[in-house]
Copies of this chain bind each other. A is one copy, B any other.
Amino acid sequence: MSDHICGAGCNHFSHLNDADLQAEFTEARHSLRANIGGTKTAGKAGSGGVTQRPLPSKKAGENVRHYYIPANKETIHWGYFSKSMEPLLKLDSGDYATIETVTHHSNDDIDRMVKGDPGVESIFQWDAKNKAIDRRGAGPMDHPLGAGGGLGVHVCTGPIYVNGAEPGDVLEVRIVDTMQRPSGNPDYRGKTFGVNVAANWGFQYKNLLTEPKNREVVTIYEVDATGEQTWAKAVYNFRWTPQTDPSGRVHPVIDYPGVPVDKRTIKPNYDVLKGYEIPVRPHFGMIGVAPVEVEIVSSNPPSYTGGNFDNWRMGKGATAFFPVAVPGAMFSVGDPHASQGDAELCGTAIECSLTGLFQFILHKKADLPGTKLYGLDYPLLETASELIVHGFSSPNYLKEYGYSENPGAEIKSSLDTAMTDAFNKTRRFFMDTRNLSEDEAISLISISVDFGITQVVDGNWGVHAIIKKSIFPK
A residues within 8 Å of B by Cβ?
Answer: 196, 198, 202-204, 207-210, 217, 219, 221, 232, 234, 237, 239, 272-279, 339-350, 414-416, 419-420, 423-424, 427, 431, 436-440, 442-453, 456, 463, 468, 470-474
Whether the Cβ atoms of A279 and B452 lie closer than 8 Å is no
Asked, given contacts A345-B451, A416-B416, A419-B456, whether A439 binds B198 with beta carbons under 8 Å apart, the answer is yes
Whether the Cβ atoms of A207 and B420 lie closer than 8 Å is yes
Most chain B beta carbons < 10 A, residue from A210, A237, A343, A431? A343
Most chain B beta carbons < 10 A, residue from A207, A349, A415? A415
A406 to B: closest C-beta gap in Å: 22
Most chain B beta carbons < 10 A, residue from A219, A420, A468? A219
Whether the Cβ atoms of A198 and B446 lie closer than 8 Å is yes
B276, B424, B442, B452: which contacts A452 (Cβ < 8 A)?
B452
Whether the Cβ atoms of B438 and A210 lie closer than 8 Å is yes
Whether the Cβ atoms of A447 and B414 lie closer than 8 Å is no
Chain B residues with CB under 8 A of A472 = 275-276
Most chain B beta carbons < 10 A, residue from A272, A273, A431? A273
Whether the Cβ atoms of A278 and B473 lie closer than 8 Å is no
Whether the Cβ atoms of A442 and B276 lie closer than 8 Å is no
Asked, given contacts A207-B420, A443-B198, whether A451 binds B278 with beta carbons under 8 Å apart, the answer is no
Chain B residues with CB under 8 A of A449 = 341-343, 345
Whether the Cβ atoms of B456 and A339 lie closer than 8 Å is no
Give the docked Cα–Cα distance between A277 and B344 (Å). 33
A79 to B: closest C-beta gap in Å: 21
A472 to B: closest C-beta gap in Å: 7
Asked, given contacts A414-B414, A415-B415, whether A237 binds B443 with beta carbons under 8 Å apart, the answer is yes
Asked, given contacts A273-B440, A276-B471, A345-B423, whether A446 binds B416 with beta carbons under 8 Å apart, the answer is no
Asked, given contacts A203-B419, A208-B438, whether A448 binds B279 with beta carbons under 8 Å apart, the answer is yes
Whether the Cβ atoms of A446 and B342 lie closer than 8 Å is no
Asked, given contacts A419-B453, A453-B463, A471-B276, whether A219 binds B443 with beta carbons under 8 Å apart, the answer is yes
**Closest 4 A/B residue pairs (Cβ):** A275-B473, A415-B415, A346-B446, A342-B450
B221, B276, B347: which contacts A473 (Cβ < 8 A)?
B276
Chain B residues with CB under 8 A of A207 = 420, 423-424
A390 to B: closest C-beta gap in Å: 14
9 sample A-B contacts, Cβ–Cβ < 8 Å, listed by A number: A203-B423, A210-B437, A221-B447, A272-B437, A272-B439, A273-B436, A273-B444, A276-B471, A415-B416
If A279-B470, A342-B449 are given as contacts, then 18 extra A-B residue pairs at C-beta distance below 8 Å, sorted by A number, are A203-B420, A207-B420, A207-B423, A208-B438, A209-B431, A219-B439, A237-B440, A239-B439, A279-B448, A342-B450, A343-B451, A345-B445, A345-B446, A345-B449, A346-B445, A349-B446, A415-B415, A415-B419
Asked, given contacts A198-B442, A208-B438, whether A447 binds B340 with beta carbons under 8 Å apart, the answer is yes
Chain B residues with CB under 8 A of A209 = 427, 431, 438
Chain B residues with CB under 8 A of A341 = 445-451
Q: Which residue in chain B gives the minimum CB-CB distance to A278? A: B448
Whether the Cβ atoms of B473 and A274 lie closer than 8 Å is yes
A351 to B: closest C-beta gap in Å: 10
A387 to B: closest C-beta gap in Å: 14
Whether the Cβ atoms of B196 and A474 lie closer than 8 Å is no
Whether the Cβ atoms of A468 and B346 lie closer than 8 Å is no
